[in-house]
A and B are shown apart, each in its own frame.
Chain A
Amino acid sequence: MGLRIEEPATNDTSSSFDALLFTTMCMIGLPVEVQVKDGSVYSGIFHTASVDGEYGVVLKMASMARKGEGNANLSVGTVVDTLVVLSADLVQVVAKGVLIPADGIVSNVNSDGAKMVTSSALPPSCHSELQIEQKTSKSGKAISESSTEEDMEQTGQNGRLNQNEENISVHDLKIKDFKNGFLAKGGKKLGLREGAAKPMESMLEIENGKTDTVDMAKVEEGSSGPFFSDSSDERQDGKGKRQGGENACGTCKDDNMVHGAPCSSSPTACIPQLNYIDGMAVKISKILPNEAPSASLDSTLSEAPEHEMPTSVHSRPSDAPTPYVSTCSTSVVNFSLSSCLSPLGSPSESVPSKKTVCNTNSKEFKLNPGAKTFSPSFPNLRSTPPSVTAVASVGYGPSSSPMVPIVNAQPGIEISHFTPRTSVPAKFVQYSNLVAGNSGGGTLYGPRNSLPIAGHVGSREQPGRYSSQYQAGSAYVHPNSQTVMVGRLGQVVYVHPIPHDAIQGATTLSQGPARPILAPQQVHLPKQQGTAAQALQVRMTTPYLPAGQQSLGVPGHIPFPQPFPAIRPISVPSINSVFGGARNACDGRACCSLMSIYVSYFHFNNIQRPY
């Protein structure tokens, strides 16, 4: 969290004042030596200073280091808790080893370094995006606060945001406080430099954008921020800001046309967006001087045709605290977020993901708050089902990818649909987070027709789910018996090359080396690693029930490793879409719900969890 002096000073006086204020702030907490006019030198910790006209300083734990000519009531070596040096007595203040924070240099105390690490871990494009959006999100204090409150209210009402998001929302409030408290003299703006809050905002946008209900308050601020004066009457100017928000939201769509950048599901799509915003900023700054009233700027913004949001519904008056509804497409969010993933890109990452590196970082730090300088690496991208899977069971396979990721939003215990591709040797299937019969117990499943699946689930978060299609054995064996990848990166089941004849003859296949990569909540699974080499045959005897309760019959002769004393029919209430309810797109929350169901299943059936 930090404050950035955003604008160059308009005159020398304020500029010098800002520099002096900045220097003073940098010296807080550092040991300094203060010389007074009688020649005495006091050393202490720089606490604060008065910068209004006269410059006086306050030291903590001060002591006289050198006695001057005057008669001071403080002897050498005596420590006083607080020493106030008036401006009339002050000669100079010397601070040694001052670190001037600038870009890339943080202060020496790493109290909030996690955010800086999070910020620095981002690719440059994403970083610049954050900065730009930070700049732009500071336009209206009141609106910022109200929007944050709205976000939190939405969090509470919908229960859709995870804990991570809530934390950053709270953090956002703190940012607002700082923002309010550090407006520079003369109306100069001190911008925010918050790396971790932005992922939160992005996440919010994603969440909202996924349901076509976008909380545009922040976006509004975002687009209008740099061009508006930091005044409270911006709140009254909500229409213009909304239009600004539309502009910000609509830029992504326009990017394809204006810049011709690879925006179509491209990880680099946020860069043109940034350029676009920059360009807009430049353009507006050319149109209007700094002192231009915001109303005229609003009109300018609203008149810019290329910034218009294609579809937006203003459902509230401008001063209403709740956000208006806009049908901002999710691609806006996905573009910018996928840009965060760009350095880790691989052909199998073409499935758009809702989780981001930023959020993952935040989660990491939340899990281990002490690791403030920890910059996690991501050998495998954690990706949840994409937000673009509004249409259920839509096969999604980019032609350029050697592996075919198949987005399956259809819930339930069934194998996702496969998209047979003649020239593609691998297949991907979207997996949900639910395991029918516990994927930890073995990822090998012997269907009725004895067609085995050997391989590992590449997902850290989502154990596989298995389908009736697979039981039917219709589409699971690759015709050319080559390597079959089932799932996608993060939810991949890798199936070893199995010849046709071998598959026909074999009943089970050892899946020992092909274990799923365990998520933190699945740490209990490796206990069964010793029996992993044991060939397991899981027979899904109960058909998939689209509604109501579903029982999964697993024969008792299955050699499950220990904590499954008796595999009996599993009654899993179809609370959500997992076992066949509404076929919503599976997202992270659904996966969490699945895990909850998974855990509650063990509790309900009084089965000891395989720790």
Chain B
Amino acid sequence: MEGSSSNGDDFAVGCILSIKTSLGDEFQGQIVTFDRPSNILRAQEGPKSGSRRNVRLLKANYIKEFSLLAKAEDPLDPTKCFLDLPSIQAREEAAIRQAEIEAERFGVGVTSEAQRIFDALAKTLPVRWDKTVIVVMNEVRVSSPYHSENVSGGTPAANDRVKKVIEFERKRLHTRGTSQ
């Protein structure tokens, strides 16, 4: 991975650059590789000590300016790199499953206030969206505009509990809104 220094236009592998993109981002990172055919610059950010880094793949034609901060060795030793394909596969499947679970928490066609109430209820109670209606514990339904008087169904205890949570959350949201 010795630098792509055969071409003068290429980035030297291992150099630590401060890069500013044409879209306004600015970051510092170490050049890991630069693939000229795809014009993709791969830089990694983060401390050297940690094993986890932030990796950035940037199209070089969106680099507005850069400055050389330091020179370092090639951070990627090809002889020590390996890929655990089953792990990668499992990781992706797990991430997708988790994303699907989280996606169910977002109401479609609801206001941000409704989503915040949903999130507040979700902290203590099992909730789900039934279109725009919040269903708590599969029995108490909170319909728009998600006030305490819009709570219906369920046992009286559960109904009262949901009402209290909604009132408390609305107060909190109101307090937060006024403070901001």
Binding site for B on A (CB under 8 A): 1-6, 8-9, 12-13, 15-20, 22-31, 35, 37, 39, 44-45, 47, 51, 53-55, 60-61, 77-79, 87, 90-103, 105-112, 116, 178, 182, 193
Contact = CB atoms under 8 A, between A and B. Distances in A.
Contacts of B157: none
Given A12-B3, A27-B55, A107-B87, A20 B106 contact: no
Given A16-B33, A107-B91, A112-B87, A102 B77 contact: yes
A103 B51 CA distance: 12
A122 B144 CA distance: 63
A3 B80 CA distance: 10
17 contacts: A5-B78, A5-B81, A13-B37, A16-B36, A19-B76, A20-B42, A23-B32, A30-B91, A55-B35, A55-B39, A92-B25, A93-B56, A95-B56, A96-B54, A97-B52, A99-B51, A100-B53
B145 to A, nearest CB: 19
B85 to A, nearest CB: 6
Closest 5 pairs between A and B when the two form their complex, measured CB to CB = A29-B92, A19-B33, A61-B99, A29-B91, A111-B90
A79 B106 contact: yes
A95 B32 contact: no
Interface in B42-77: 42, 44, 51-59, 62, 76-77
A9 B78 contact: yes
Given A12-B6, A15-B1, A15-B2, A28 B91 contact: yes
B35 A26 contact: no
A385 B38 CA distance: 60
A3 B91 contact: no
Interface in B12-47: 21, 23, 25, 32-40, 42, 44
Given A61-B96, A92-B58, A99-B52, A8 B79 contact: yes
B179 interface: no
A92 B99 contact: no
Contacts of B38: 20, 51, 53-55, 87
A102 B86 contact: no
B34 to A, nearest CB: 6
B62 A91 contact: yes
Given A13-B36, A15-B2, A20-B40, A92 B90 contact: no
A96 B56 CA distance: 8
Contact of B80 (A60, A102, A108, A112): A102
A193 B40 contact: no
A78 B103 CA distance: 9
B88 to A, nearest CB: 5
Given A19-B33, A99-B51, A60 B99 contact: yes
B88 A95 contact: no
Nearest to B19: A92
Nearest to A101: B82
A53 B36 CA distance: 9
Contacts of B91: 28-30, 107-109, 111
B42 A19 contact: yes
A1 B86 contact: yes
A96 B168 CA distance: 36
Nearest to B40: A55
B82 A45 contact: no
Contacts of A39: 23
Nearest to A33: B56
A8 B88 contact: no
Contacts of A78: 108
A109 B86 CA distance: 9
A31 B53 contact: no
B89 interface: yes
B51 A23 contact: no
Interface string B78-121: 11111111111111111110011001001010000000000000
B2 A2 contact: no
Contacts of A54: 38
A2 B78 contact: no
A3 B108 CA distance: 42
B51 to A, nearest CB: 6
B88 A28 contact: yes
A98 B53 contact: yes
A61 B94 CA distance: 12
Contacts of A26: 55, 83, 88
B159 interface: no
A23 B42 contact: yes
Contacts of A15: 1-2, 4, 33, 78
Contacts of A92: 21, 25, 56-59, 62
Given A2-B84, A92-B56, A116-B84, 9 more contacts: A15-B78, A29-B90, A31-B95, A61-B95, A91-B58, A92-B57, A93-B56, A98-B53, A111-B90
Contacts of B2: 12, 15
A79 B103 CA distance: 7
A254 B53 CA distance: 47
A112 B54 CA distance: 25
Nearest to A25: B83
B33 A29 contact: no
A3 B79 CA distance: 11
Contacts of B92: 28-29, 45, 47, 60
Given A19-B32, A23-B33, A93-B57, A45 B88 contact: no
Contact of B21 (A5, A31, A91): A91
Given A107-B84, A109-B91, A95 B55 contact: yes
A93 B55 CA distance: 8
A45 B98 CA distance: 10
Contacts of B96: 45, 60-61
B37 A53 contact: yes
Residue from the set A23, A30, A45 with the largest chain B CB neighbour count within 10 Å: A23
Nearest to A55: B38
A93 B78 CA distance: 22
A405 B106 CA distance: 70
B104 to A, nearest CB: 10
B81 A98 contact: no
